[in-house]
Structure 1
C-alpha cells in the first residue's frame, strides 16, 4: 500500500483518490506510534444544520488511526480492518481547520488500538478509540 511507511507525503498520495483525499484530509506527520492530520472546514463537510458533520470528524480520526495501523503492521500482515470505533463529540467547528492526533495504545500481532483527539485551536472537539484487526494472507 505505502512504500515508505513513515512518509506523510506517501499516505497523502495513496489517499488522494479515495475518501480521505475527496474530503481534503492532509496527513502532516507519521512517526513511531503517532499520526497527525488536518482537515479544512468547508461547506461540503457540513451537516444541513450548519455545523460540521460528525461523519467528517469520524472520518478524520479513523483515517489517522488507520494510517497509523498501516505504518505499524507486524511482519507478514497484509492489511487491517477497523472493528470498533467509539467517538465522543464535545464540540464543533463552523470554519477554519481542525486537527487530529492519533496515538497507539496497543500494537499487537492480531489487533491494534489507537486513541485520537480532534481539536481546533487547542479546544477538544472529539475523542476517539479505534480498534483494528490485523489481517494476514491465507
Structure 2
C-alpha cells in the first residue's frame, strides 16, 4: 500500500485535537514513508522564566512528532505506539519564531522503533537534537 501523505497529516492533526499538541499549537506539516515533521510557535506560552523556549516544550514537540511518526510504520488497527525513553540535547536558545521538529527513523524493529528528532529554527539552525524510543504493542 502506498503512503498517503495528505491523509496521514490530516489524521495526525485531527487526533491532536483537545490534547497537549493543540495546547502547544503543534501542527503536523510534512510526512513521508520514514519521516514526520511538525511545527510549534515560540512565544510566551512556551517560554521559561528567562524568556527562552522551555526545554520541556522542545521535548514535548520531539515526543509528539516521534510518537506519531511510528504510526507511519505500523498498522494502527492492530498496533499501538508507546514512547518509552526520550533524551534531548539543547544546543541553541530561541526567544520567538517557529521551531520545526523532524523525526527520522534510525531503527525499525518489530517491537521497537528508534527515532532521531532534529528541532530547528526558521533559519534551519539546530536548536535541539532528541532521540526517542517507541515500543510497538498489540492493540487492546
Which TM-score applies when normalising by structure 1?
0.90
Q: Deviations over 1:41-100 (max 9, x none)?
A: 121111112111101111111111101011211587420211110110001110011111
2:49 partner SS: coil
How far is the alpha carbon of 1:31 from its aligned partner?
1.3
Runs of 4+ in 1 over 3 A off after TM superposition: 74-77
Unmatched segments (≥5 aa) in structure 2: none
Partner residue, 2:131 = 129
**Which runs of no fewer than 5 residues in structure 1 stay unpaired?**
none
Q: From the superposition, tell whether residues 46 and 104 of structure 1 become closer, same or farther in structure 2 (CA, over 3 Å).
A: same
Q: 1:67 to 1:13 in 2, by over 3 A?
A: same
Show the counterpart of 1:13: 14
In 1, Cα distance between equivalents of 2:24 and 2:77: 31
Q: CA distance change for structure 1 residues 134 and 43 in 2, over 3 Å: closer, same or farther?
A: same
Q: Is residue 99 from structure 1 mapped to residue 61 from structure 2 by the alignment?
A: no
8 Å contact kept, 1:7–1:29: no
Per the normalisation by structure 2, the TM-score is 0.89
Given that residues 38 and 97 in structure 1 are in contact (C-alpha distance below 8 angstroms), is that contact kept between their aligned partners in structure 2?
Answer: yes
State the Cα RMSD in Å: 1.8
State how many pairs are aligned. Answer: 135
Could you tell me whether the CA contact under 8 Å between 1:74 and 1:109 is conserved in 2?
no
State the SS of the aligned residue for 1:7: helix
Query: 2:88 and 2:34 mapped to 1: Cα distance?
Result: 20
